[in-house]
Structure 1
Amino acid sequence: MATQTEYTHVELLTLKGPEYRRVSTAPPRPPTNDEIPVIDLSPIDGDQQARGELATKVRAAAENTGFFYIKNHGISEELIGDALSQAKAFFNQSVDEKKKVDRKKFKHFAGYHGLGSTQINRTESQDRKETFSLRYSPRHDPTNTQPGTQSDDEDDRLLWHGTSHIPGLRDTTIAFWQARLALARKLVRIFALSLNLPSNYFDDVVTHPGADGLYVHYPGTPESTNDETKLEVGIGSHTDIQCFTLLWQDKSGGLQVLSAADEWLDARPIEGTLVVNIGDFLQRLSNNRFKSTVHRVYNRQSGSRYSMPFFFGFNPESVCAVVPTCVDEDHPALYEPISCGKWHRDRLALASNKKSA
């Protein structure tokens, strides 16, 4: 006799109040190739036909689960390895050393976020992770010729002064951030094609984008913690805020993605790939054609887990509406235009207010 699947619900905070998603209580299962495909990015610099074929594959993934792996992405394994070494060097310091660049010292929440300082889902445990964040700065963007603000310069000076005792941290972290920024700008052109828009449709709104590079450390779980109901979540169930995310994860595993069938998928690391997932703002622009999917992380192993996400959005002042190719008589625009900066600030403020409530 077949076992009947049981379900529960996960609560997500939105600007319109809480939303609830049905979730199977079954253990995470491996994804099918359609649910989280591996897409070869080799054609990203190719001719129009090659890029069009790539965009077709990206569209299929974005409309399904909203997650996919990319290989041949152009970021060297050497640079990734160097960045990981720097992440470990930073997190291996004492708490007092890490707090020299505590997030509270920065206008835009760069720097260090300690263990238990965030709780992305109020119905789950506090996030069992610590992070080091690098925000967009025009001084580190090779394509930007506009000067930054005084606060940008002061934040940058304070961040690197507080970590100057770690050899190579600044140069490697910035180089890795720049490589992912360049890749994200190429990918956003593929996303434009996948929405049946000209490839340069979004070029004017990514000149000084939201571009946050993080190092994340999830401490190991004590071997005595065997009860799944008492296991602390590394980062709770959530969707990402901006357009899309590029993620490098180590071999530990732990990333779980909610499928269209309301089942948790085990998005295990694949050697030589990055994970890409759609964020809320791109779902908004696509009139819900692209899926910003719920995901979470558990570190069930006794050793540390490391990941390095890169969150990509549009210029903060750019007011963006649902794109014209996703609207017709049968599919009116579901969202009002909003600036990317306001969207980002309001979402971050929502999370902060709920945590302190």
Structure 2
Amino acid sequence: MALTQTRDPRGQILDDDASIALIDNPDSTEEIPTLDFGPYLDGRPGGREAVAAHLREITMTVGFFYLKNHGIPQSLIDAVFAESKRFHAIPLEKKAELSFVDTDGFKSGYIGFATEKRKVNVNIVADTKPNIYEQITVQREGAGNINRWPELPGFKETVNEYHRAIEKLARSFLPLWSTSLKLPLDFFDRWFVNPHLQLSLLHYPPQKEVGNRQYGIAPHTDNAMMTFLAQENIPGLAVRMPSGRWRAVDIVPGTLLVNTGNALVRWTNELYLSTKHRVINTSNVDRYSIPVFFGPQDDTVLEVLPPCKSEDQPSLYEPVTYGDLRRWYYNKPKT
């Protein structure tokens, strides 16, 4: 199915210095909300309904939230950060042996500093410079697709354990999304038999220059249904708030930072948000973070859901498969 669209979830591309200065120098004091997952995970009476209602409110207004009581042990999160630092400390020539490959959406391997090509269809600021970060990316393996793993004892096992924990957490959100939209609890399950689950271990060196369209990661929206971000102790992320101004994201111990992406925007006819964000590491030390992107399988047709359209509110988007949306996102032709 070819990708056609009547609207664009990434928003207007900015090319004026005043707007870009707001992104580079965040000054908003608006609150990034916190979602307490405990009442739902613990099975408390009314917990699912209450958490789903709060999730709906957050996703309609901000699109980013701190998730507490998520059930993933801090010891496991710490272990994955330790493996990330261990990987990024090995010589560049060894990392380069795991150079990044993309086999029709199965993305795995290493991308070095300032080598990532700018993605035309996700740019928010025009003419940005190449991003200043390095990463190794792994996917949910299966159907003959195998990740490119470094020869570091324990690395694969630890990363896979965390990957599985995030998948379990992400799947537990599906009944909440259904509840928030007054759909059957299992409504989304059919599209997540073999979900898209992409984990990246990111390393940002200190960025000496702020401005001049240089970023750790340039302003963008995410394309999956949800992103689960583990942060350590170094800030650098900023997000666009409801006022239109940008806020620096605090580090809140014991939480994951979660945001919604373009897939959910299309499903809900823009009822739910995909919020712009960027990274600039202005500290004097290296920054590490671990995003995991969660979406449906590639053949899922993203069509505006019945509760989100009517005669007075027609569909803003043509139906498209998630695979084609991903190809559009990375400005890749359909294969």
Q: TM-score, normalised by structure 2?
A: 0.88
Cα 1:49–1:346 change in 2 (3 A) is same
Q: Tell me what 2:228 maps to.
A: 246
Q: Tell me what 1:113 maps to.
A: 111
Contact kept in structure 2, 1:42 and 1:73, CA below 8 Å: yes
Structure 2 residue 28 is matched with structure 1 residue 19: no
Cα 1:106–1:94 change in 2 (3 A) is farther
* Farther-moved stretch of structure 1 (230-239 vs 126-135): 230-239
Q: Tell me what 1:194 maps to.
A: 180
* Cα displacement (A) at 1:251: 1.5
Q: Tell me what 2:63 maps to.
A: 66
* Cα displacement (A) at 1:16: 10
* Cα displacement (A) at 1:332: 0.9
Q: Tell me what 1:90 maps to.
A: 87
Structure 2 residue 296 is matched with structure 1 residue 314: yes
Contact kept in structure 2, 1:220 and 1:299, CA below 8 Å: yes
Q: Tell me what 1:331 maps to.
A: 313
Detail structure 1 runs of 4+ shifted over 4 Å in the superposition.
14-18
Q: Which letter does structure 1 place at the counterpart of 2:134? A: E
Q: Tell me what 1:203 maps to.
A: 189
Q: Give CA-to-partner distance per residue, 1:158-184, whole Å, 9 cap, x none.
A: x13xx12x1210000100100001100
Cα 1:288–1:106 change in 2 (3 A) is closer
Q: Give CA-to-partner distance per residue, 1:281-325, whole Å, 9 cap, x none.
A: 101111001010111000001210000000011011121311111
Structure 2 residue 121 is matched with structure 1 residue 124: no
Contact kept in structure 2, 1:135 and 1:213, CA below 8 Å: yes
Matched residues in 1 for 2:102 and 2:312: separation?
A: 49
Cα 1:16–1:43 change in 2 (3 A) is closer
Query: Taking every aligned residue pair, what percent have the same amino acid on both sides?
Result: 30
Q: Give CA-to-partner distance per residue, 1:125-161, whole Å, 9 cap, x none.
A: 21000011011213xxxxxxxxx23xx1xx33xx13x
Cα 1:71–1:17 change in 2 (3 A) is closer
1:233 to 215, 225, 244: 215
Q: If each structure's helix is expressed as a fraction of its own residues, which one has the higher value?
A: 1
Q: Which letter does structure 1 place at the counterpart of 2:173? A: L
Matched residues in 1 for 2:313 and 2:303: separation?
A: 14
Matched residues in 1 for 2:9 and 2:101: separation?
A: 28
Q: Tell me what 1:135 maps to.
A: 139
Matched residues in 1 for 2:167 and 2:301: separation?
A: 21
Secondary structure of 1:109's aligned partner: strand
Matched residues in 2 for 1:175 and 1:17: separation?
A: 33
Secondary structure of 2:65's aligned partner: strand
Q: Which letter does structure 1 place at the counterpart of 2:12? A: E
Q: Which letter does structure 2 place at the counterpart of 1:19? A: Q
Contact kept in structure 1, 2:235 and 2:249, CA below 8 Å: yes
2:48 to 48, 51, 54: 51
* Cα displacement (A) at 1:29: 2.8
Q: Tell me what 1:295 maps to.
A: 277
User: Number of residues paired by the alignment?
Assistant: 314
Structure 2 residue 203 is matched with structure 1 residue 212: no
Cα 1:192–1:214 change in 2 (3 A) is same
Q: Which letter does structure 2 place at the counterpart of 1:137? A: E
Q: Give CA-to-partner distance per residue, 1:26-71, whole Å, 9 cap, x none.
A: 43135433xx201110122325621011001000110001111100
Matched residues in 2 for 1:79 and 1:212: separation?
A: 18
* Cα displacement (A) at 1:20: 3.1
Contact kept in structure 2, 1:30 and 1:267, CA below 8 Å: no
Q: Which letter does structure 2 place at the counterpart of 1:20? A: I
Q: Which letter does structure 1 place at the counterpart of 2:288? A: Y
Could you tell me which runs of 5 or more consecutive residues in structure 1 were left unpaired when the two chains were aligned: 1-13, 139-147, 352-357
Matched residues in 2 for 1:283 and 1:71: separation?
A: 24
Matched residues in 2 for 1:24 and 1:96: separation?
A: 36
Q: Which letter does structure 1 place at the counterpart of 2:137? A: S
Contact kept in structure 1, 2:128 and 2:213, CA below 8 Å: no
* Cα displacement (A) at 1:231: 7.5
Q: Tell me what 2:4 maps to.
A: none
Contact kept in structure 1, 2:138 and 2:200, CA below 8 Å: yes
Contact kept in structure 1, 2:227 and 2:261, CA below 8 Å: yes
Structure 2 residue 271 is matched with structure 1 residue 267: no
Secondary structure of 2:101's aligned partner: helix
Contact kept in structure 2, 1:31 and 1:267, CA below 8 Å: no
Cα 1:326–1:305 change in 2 (3 A) is same
Q: Give CA-to-partner distance per residue, 1:228-279, whole Å, 9 cap, x none.
A: 3348310001000111100011211111111122101111111111111110
Structure 2 residue 33 is matched with structure 1 residue 37: yes
Q: Which letter does structure 2 place at the counterpart of 1:192? A: S
Cα 1:78–1:325 change in 2 (3 A) is same
Which has the bigger relative contact order, CA under 8 A and spacing at least 6? 2
Contact kept in structure 1, 2:52 and 2:180, CA below 8 Å: yes
Q: Give CA-to-partner distance per residue, 1:177-203, whole Å, 9 cap, x none.
A: 000011000012212211221221101
* Farther-moved stretch of structure 1 (80-89 vs 45-54): 45-54
